[in-house]
Amino acid sequence: RGRLAEDGSVPERYPLREGPSPGYLERTEWNARDSDGTLILNVGPLTTGSLYTEKMAKRHQRPCMVLQLEKTRDGEEAITAGLEDVRRWMRQHKIRVLNVAGPRETKTPGIYAEARAFLTSLFKSLYEQEDHAQRRVGALFLLLAAGRLS
């Protein structure tokens, strides 16, 4: 409740439906349950929140992919391989509503910028795809990121 986020509250421009609980656990479960699949962007071993997210995706029989961002740091080829792995996974599982999760910036400094850069590349590449459904997912993300969708 209260559009709770680690750094304050989620801006009104992001459409969301709040649950009755003020905590993160219910929201995490509902995000996993209500999506077509969960992508966890991580560095190192999964910790508490990300482990719980993975557990909830499995509980609700939703596909879950963990991408270790450190594997995408070795230049353009590594980034391209990571992007293709995620695109392939999304096509295979027909992902249209994607739950993106990962550790908090305060627990993994630098993860926000790294995850944002990866997601921007991912959704730009989805937008450029021939597949209409994936193109729509990419377009929606780019509009949200630009603050043009509310």
Longest Cα–Cα distance of the chain, Å, equals 44
Q: How far apart are CA 90 and CA 101, in angstroms?
A: 15
Would you call 51 helix, strand, or coil by DSSP?
A: helix
Other Cβ atoms closer than 10 A to 65: 20
Is pLDDT of 121 > 70?
yes
Question: In the prediction, which pLDDT does 146 show?
Answer: 44
What is the rounded average pLDDT of the residues 3-8? 72
pLDDT digits (tens, 9 = 90+) for 32-84: 999 999 999 999 999 999 999 999 999 999 999 999 998 887 778 888 899 99
Is pLDDT of 144 > 80?
no
Question: In the prediction, which pLDDT does 150 show?
Answer: 37
**CA neighbor of 121 nearest in space, from 91, 79, 92:** 79
Q: What is the DSSP pairing of strand 4-5 with strand 8-9?
A: antiparallel
What is the rounded average pLDDT of the residues 133-146? 51
> In degrees rounded to 5, what are phi and psi of residue 94?
55, 50
Query: What is the residue-averaged pLDDT of the chain?
Result: 83
Question: In the prediction, which pLDDT does 71 show?
Answer: 83
Question: In the prediction, which pLDDT does 102 show?
Answer: 93
